[in-house]
Structure formats: structure tokens, C-alpha cells
Amino acid sequence: MQVKLIDKMGSDLTVVNAARVSYAKTKEQFEDKDEKLIAFLAKHNHWSPFGHASLQFKIKAPIFVARQLVKHQVGLIWNEVSRRYVDYAPELHHPDTWRGRPINSKQGSAGEVKLDPTLQHVYETAMEQCLILYNSFIDKGIAPEQARMVLPQSMMTEWYWSGTLYAFARVCNLRCKSDVQKETRDVCEEISKECSKQFPISWKYLLDKNTK
């Protein structure tokens, strides 16, 4: 999986100036006292100043991860590779380990499950057969939009994800928690790292303590 920052607009000073314009004031440089303003805005959910800073990512992850993250819509724009239009050989995600089903929860995972060689072989064969069948359909001239139905949720996809700093904070505050699916959490933790690098003061106060 990959998370790459493509572009960004603004800085912590952008947030400060967006808030201060209410009093017809702006400034050229960020000062230490501006951190108090950002902390106040975040604490009291004055979100609009954080909406004037934005980031664009290019992300590569399995379909089952993408379908979790695309649910986040407010303040975000998503454009993804379409298997209606492309027919190059798909890439599949293969887990390093298999996690167990938790006892007291309907979601998530707990511990590790070791597959016996037979079951591991069945899994690998099934994935390989999906790829062979897809490529055979394409070679037969079947439209990519229909041939794609045989591809598994482990297929890798790519998308551009753009949005405001505040919108990505909402994503990371929800999806960086310990009870989130690991693969989804891995993507969001990379997003969080980049947001922290680009907007260190704002991100410090936008990110919930239990996700840091």
C-alpha cells in the first residue's frame, strides 16, 4: 500500500489568517501566540478556518480498504482508477498474517490464525484463478466493465483524494483508532503523518488524543 502527498495548499498561517479576517486583520508570519488561537479554534469546533488549508494524496490500497474510506464525503473529493476503462493485469493484496475473529465483538480482529498448508494453497490458487479468468475474458474480447466482476476485493486500486485539513482530521480521528481494520488504519496513519508534517500546529490540536 502507498500514500503519497501530491500537493498541498496553505499552512498554519492560512488557518490563523482565515480566523483573524473576521476582525479585518491578517499577518505575514506565524508567531508563537498564534498557536493559542489554533488551539481555541479546534477545542471549540470552529472548523471553518481549517477548511482553507487542503491536501491532495495519491493512494494505492486494496478495494476493501478503498470502500471503507470512500464513505467519507464531506470536504473531500475522490477520483479512482476505473476498471470500466482499463484492462491491464490486476495486482492483488496478500496479507502477511491472518487475524482471528474477536470473541466479544461483531467487527475487527484479534490475535493471529495460522493456516494449514492445504488451506493456504486453496487461497493462493483461488486468487490466481481470478486473475487467469479475468485475463482470459479480456483476451476473448469481453468488455472490461463486465470482465471485472470476477476480480476479488483484494485487488489493488489507486485514487486521488483531495480535501480540506479539517476533513482529513475527521477521517483520521475515526480511522486511526485501535479498533479500526489494520489495513485501513495503516493508510490513515500515513495520511496523519503527512498532515502533521505540513500543518504541525493545526494537526496537533485537530487530532484526538486517543489517536495520537
H helix intervals, the chain: 12-20, 34-43, 63-69, 117-139, 144-147, 165-175, 182-198, 200-206
* Catalytic residue, candidates 67, 99, 148, 175: 175
Positive or negative torsion for Cα 159, 162, 163, 168? positive
Q: How far apart are CA 133 and CA 139, in angstroms?
A: 10
Cell readout for 25 is 486583520
Cell readout for 160 is 486521488
Closest CA to 5 of 175, 190, 158: 190
Residue the block writes with cell 483461488? 126
Known catalytic membership, residue 185: no
Q: How far apart are CA 54 and CA 9, in angstroms?
A: 5
Closest CA to 1 of 83, 54, 57, 56: 57
Active site residues: 175
